[in-house]
Amino acid sequence: MAGTPSSARPLSPHLQIWRFTVTMAASITQRGTGVANFAGVALIAAWLFAVAQGPAFFAPVGALLTSPIGGVVLAGFIWSLCFHMLNGLRYLYWDSGRGFKPATARATGWAVYVGSVALAALIVFAGLAARGGA
Q: Has residue 4 got a pLDDT over 80?
A: no
pLDDT for the residue numbered 49: 96
> pTM of this prediction?
0.84
Digit-coded pLDDT (tens) for 24-79: 999 999 999 999 999 999 999 999 999 999 999 999 999 999 999 999 999 999 99
* 21-131 topology per CATH: 3 helical TM bundles of succinate and fumarate reductases (1.20.1300)
Residue spans per domain, the chain: 21-131
Helix (H, G, I), strand (E, B) or coil at 36: helix
In 10 A of CB 25, how many CB atoms? 14
Helix (H, G, I), strand (E, B) or coil at 121: helix
Residues whose CB falls within 8 Å of the CB of residue 105, separated by 6 or more in sequence, listed in order: 23, 99
Using the 8-state DSSP alphabet, how is residue 17 labeled?
Answer: G
The better pLDDT of the pair 115, 8 is held by: 115
Contact between 134 and 124 under an 8 Å Cβ cutoff? The reply is no
Q: Has residue 6 got a pLDDT over 70?
A: no
